[in-house]
Structure 1
Amino acid sequence: MAGSKIVVRFAIIVAIFMMPSLLWAGAMEIESDRMVFQHKSERAEFISNVHLKRDDFELWCDKLLAYYKNSQLDHTEAFGHVRLAQKGITGSSDKAIFDQKNNRLTLIGNAVLEQDGSRITGETIIHDMRNEKTVVQPRKGGRTHMTIESDKAAGTPLPKAAK
């Protein structure tokens, strides 16, 4: 069925193709126009209109590669028009890498994260979910940028400049 949507649960892929006894901690769903699973190299490739969903995290891109080690998801790489959303945080970049083992998301190339009007931009943004730490790196010779919006109703007004 060319052009039809393919819905894949990583837990099902691994159970069917790799090790039937594998226990997975949480399901990840991926939709794409096409999928190629390479059993020997433990790699799955999702092509065109890719949508990944896991718990409250969603990612959209043009192409996604999923890599396994010992029948467990090791990391994914997303390419082209990468967008993501999680609990009121949105982001975008040219490429993204999600390191499953270390629970780290790296946005590469024109990286942007936004929440409630606040915005962080840089060439690369590395978000370590385990340690709740975010590192923003600029382009070579460039600078990072952050815009913080205040909540006018709840926030404290800034003092006015003296005349």
Structure 2
Amino acid sequence: MRTGMVAVLFCLVMSAGVFAAGDSAIRRNDQPINIKSNELLTDSTTGTATFSGKVVARQGDLTIYSDRLVVYYAEKDKEVDRVEAFGNVRIVQENRRGEAEHAVYERRGAKITLDGGRPRVFQGEDTVTGEVITYFVDEQRSVVVGGKDGRVEATIKPKGKGQNAGAKP
């Protein structure tokens, strides 16, 4: 479970491409995972572990908050196959944050999907919002879909260079 959860926690934080991987992510794999919840239910017949009630999962500088977190294990190799976070999902790492009502990490396809409640990803003052935000981990690309009645919205603020181009010293 430890190796699979490390991948899950790391992958969830990569949502929408604005969360960056780096040396700290590699070191994170060696760090312990601390999960707190009001209840833990494991079921070997279905191959699941369900954490519920004010779930807080921490590993290094990465924290995931949700009402419920379900870990699904593959029958064949007993590795983590999929992880779903439900209700008030918030993923925080330094100045980066992802929010949705539902998030899924799928090992097959190395894909993270944020949906429900108009998902948003923030990095500093930059934001992206859509109906569904999907990040393909191996390809380091993301897709944000606006949905039937909505559009994708991104706000990207200048990073200093040229901000005061007309200002005099």
Question: Corresponding residue for 1:117?
Answer: 125
Residue by residue, what CA displacement relative to the aligned partner does 1:70-129 show, whole Å, maximum 9, x if unpaired? 211111111100000135310100100012344322110210000120000011101122
RCO higher in structure (CA 8 A, sep ≥6): 2
| Structure 2 residue runs without a partner (length 5+) | 4-28
Equivalent residues of 1:116, 1:149 under 8 A apart = no
Give aligned pairs, total: 137
CA distance in 2, matches of 1:124, 1:53: 25
Do residues 63 (structure 1) and 71 (structure 2) align? no
| Structure 1 residue runs without a partner (length 5+) | 1-9, 13-24
Structure 1 stretch displaced more, 114-123 or 139-148: 139-148
Report which of the two has the higher share of helix: 2
Superposed counterparts of 1:25-44, under 5 Å: 28-44=33-49
Q: Which amino acid aligns with 2:70?
A: L
Question: Corresponding residue for 1:136?
Answer: 144
- RMSD (Å), alpha carbons: 2.3
Question: Corresponding residue for 1:17?
Answer: none
Report which of the two has the higher share of strand: 1
Superposed counterparts of 1:14-163, under 5 Å: 28-69=33-74, 70-109=77-116, 110-151=118-159, 154-157=160-163
In the TM superposition, structure 1's runs of 4+ consecutive aligned residues that sit over 6 Å from their partners are: none
Normalising by structure 1, report the TM-score: 0.74
